[in-house]
Chain A
Amino acid sequence: MSAAPEHAPTMARLSLSDRLAPHMPVLLVPLLALAGFVAIMNPASWLTLTVSGLAMGMMIFIMASGLTLVFGLMDVINFGHGAFVSVGAFVGISVLMLLGHMTSAPSLILNLAAVLLAVIGAMLATGAMGWAFEKIIVAPVYGHHLKQILVTMGGLIVVEQLIIVLWGPEEIYFNRPEALKGAITFAGAAIEKYRLVAVAVGLAVFAAMRWVLRGTKIGLIVRAGVENGEMVQALGYRLKLIFVGVFIAGSALAGLGGVMWALYQEVITAHMGNHAMILIFIVVIIGGLGSVEGCFIGALLVGLMQNYIAFLEPKAALISNIALMVTILMWRPMGMIPVVKAK
């Protein structure tokens, strides 16, 4: 038996359209921004709306990124994800209220320290809650989608009621820390400071997630586990431990998103996470189940679309994101950057 001949493949240069195809989802964001610019015809308004849309998109991404990973890796449809957003918001804002002397002080460092402590508190609480949620609610229904939907929705209702028991049924209004109030003027456009902070935090979270997923062995295991969990286990990795870790991280990220969303809206309610779930699901679906990059692009598209349409045609804002989802799914039925293959 002789070996195969020397391998010397001919590398052909792909056409421009073939080379662009993988990058098309990324190009959609500047294309949408460009379309918005043409439609709005006012650079200052466009800049304000664009920053606002990007900020909103970043916050949705932070809330949704955990859900897409949990779905991709664990094949779990977690309708209770919104509970972590609400709990994160309530814990974070409670911490901020406790630190009122720091948030009202005219000191950027004290303000940011208070927000950081609020975020840490929220992420610790939602991370621990995620661990318990996985053990008690999700673990018994692995592999059963209908049961997952039912029990996680049940979990969401229970958590919302617990929030009402602990914090009361009323909406809680609060003020942002001093340093995050107000706006700066740039090129004639008023840009809220908090929105710039939200964009920065969103970019940092995306960069960190991308580094973990692309640059570490844990990330490799997670990405491989999304594709073929059985084979990852056959290589010797304890995927169940990774599952739990991802669930905890996803829950903690939702908690962070909850704090960010609360600071954006300056009001919290027990149902705020549930309400955000509509946007979160749209983002996860159009991004491609299991894809962090797809989730990021999808969130930016949703944020920009919502803001542009609300300015141009307020009545159409309600359906704009559904229309976006339909359009993208007609173009790519598995989402923009699908990771989980059809089963």
Chain B
Amino acid sequence: MSDAMLTPSSSEPILRIEGVYTNIAQYHILQGVDLVVPRGGVTMLLGRNGVGKTTTLRTVIGHWRAHQGRILFDGEDITKLPTPAIARLGIGFVPEDMGIFADLTVEENMILAAVSGPINSARLDWIFTAFPPLKTFWKSDAGTLSGGQKQMLSIARAMVEERKLYLIDEPTKGLAPAIISTMAKALKDLKDQGSSVLLVEQNFAVAKALGDSANVMDDGRMIWSGDMAELAHDATLQERLMGLSLEAH
């Protein structure tokens, strides 16, 4: 893994979202979101359902357009760039619905995700270690995989090349505890390598285990930003921000 990519080149955050408003049809989903994702580590994006977490990620990758505000990635304004150009700057995206190409094999899904050339064999070995079923079903159609295996493929696809930032939307949603453990371990590996991750997660145990910093959204705005540890240990704060205590989970 190249040190150049993983060593912070400056103190600038890898991603900075400033006053972003996003509308979907007549609905005003994001209403002035501010968010800073530092280089290295896992930044959690938390909040109840429907507060704008997924829309924030989709606005960063360019699937939705910000009507106001700006998004800076690695110092470059990407607010108006098309999605492919944003992705090629070094952003890996794992959508909430996984975005698996069901009619392609696992191998073809991975080849497609390796945008810059053939898959690096050492990196593929690492992925197989993290997600053994992908090796077992390498030649199988992705549509035949179980839900957990599809999620593994979705994350593996983002990991197949080094990215400057990973946007991951609810990777443990609806998965069995054993699969959640596998996911969490893979994301921990990613974090230990110095990668920058912006993670939307509803599983608070995973959020506590992985998160370095946390941002809580409500009604399309960021209502709290700080250390994940601080949030994890303050039940009153959790109750105030999200209407429930993390300790209950």
Binding site for B on A (CB under 8 A): 1-7, 9, 217, 220-221, 223-224, 227-228, 230-239, 339
Q: Which residues of chain A are near B67, meaning CB under 8 Å?
A: none
Q: Which single member of B87, B95, B112 contacts A220 (CB below 8 Å)?
A: B112
Q: How far is the CB of B246 from chain A (nearest CB, A)?
A: 16
CA distance A1 to B113 in the complex (A): 29
Q: Which single member of B83, B101, B133 contacts A233 (CB below 8 Å)?
A: B83
Most buried by A among B82, B84, B136: B84
The answer, yes or no, to whether B223 is at the interface (CB within 8 Å) is no
Q: Which residues of chain A are near B80, meaning CB under 8 Å?
A: none
Q: How far is the CB of B105 from chain A (nearest CB, A)?
A: 10
Given contacts A7-B133, A227-B101, A233-B83, contact A221 B182 (CB under 8 A): no
Q: Which residue of A is nearest B133, CB measured? A: A7
Find out whether the CB atom of A234 lies under 8 angstroms from the CB atom of B93.
Answer: yes
Q: Mark B201-223, 1 if CB is under 8 A from A, else 0.
A: 00000000100000000000000
Q: Which residues of chain B are near A227, meaning CB under 8 Å?
A: 101-104
Find out whether the CB atom of B178 lies under 8 angstroms from the CB atom of A235.
Answer: no
Most buried by B among A221, A230, A236: A236
Find out whether the CB atom of A237 lies under 8 angstroms from the CB atom of B115.
Answer: yes
Q: How far is the CB of B170 from chain A (nearest CB, A)?
A: 16
Interface size range on B against A: 20 to 34
Q: Which residue of A is nearest B146, CB measured? A: A9
CA distance A187 to B157 in the complex (A): 56
Find out whether the CB atom of A234 lies under 8 angstroms from the CB atom of B132.
Answer: no
Given contacts A234-B61, A234-B95, contact A224 B101 (CB under 8 A): yes
Find out whether the CB atom of B112 lies under 8 angstroms from the CB atom of A224.
Answer: yes
The answer, yes or no, to whether B184 is at the interface (CB within 8 Å) is yes
Find out whether the CB atom of A231 lies under 8 angstroms from the CB atom of B101.
Answer: yes
Q: How far is the CB of B157 from chain A (nearest CB, A)?
A: 8
Find out whether the CB atom of B84 lies under 8 angstroms from the CB atom of A1.
Answer: no
A-B contacts, 17 of them at CB < 8 A, read A6-B132, A7-B132, A217-B111, A220-B108, A221-B112, A227-B102, A228-B99, A230-B63, A230-B99, A231-B99, A234-B83, A234-B87, A234-B99, A235-B87, A235-B112, A236-B115, A238-B84
Q: Which residues of chain B are near A221, meaning CB under 8 Å?
A: 112
Give me the 10 closest cross-chain CB pairs, A-B, nearest first.
A231-B99, A236-B87, A4-B182, A233-B83, A7-B132, A236-B88, A4-B178, A236-B115, A234-B93, A224-B101
Q: Which residues of chain B are near A2, meaning CB under 8 Å?
A: 181
Q: Which residues of chain A are near B133, meaning CB under 8 Å?
A: 7, 9
Q: How far is the CB of A146 from chain B (nearest CB, A)?
A: 19
Find out whether the CB atom of B181 lies under 8 angstroms from the CB atom of A7.
Answer: no
Given contacts A234-B63, A235-B112, A237-B115, contact A1 B181 (CB under 8 A): yes
Q: How far is the CB of A164 from chain B (nearest CB, A)?
A: 41
Q: How far is the CB of B236 from chain A (nearest CB, A)?
A: 27
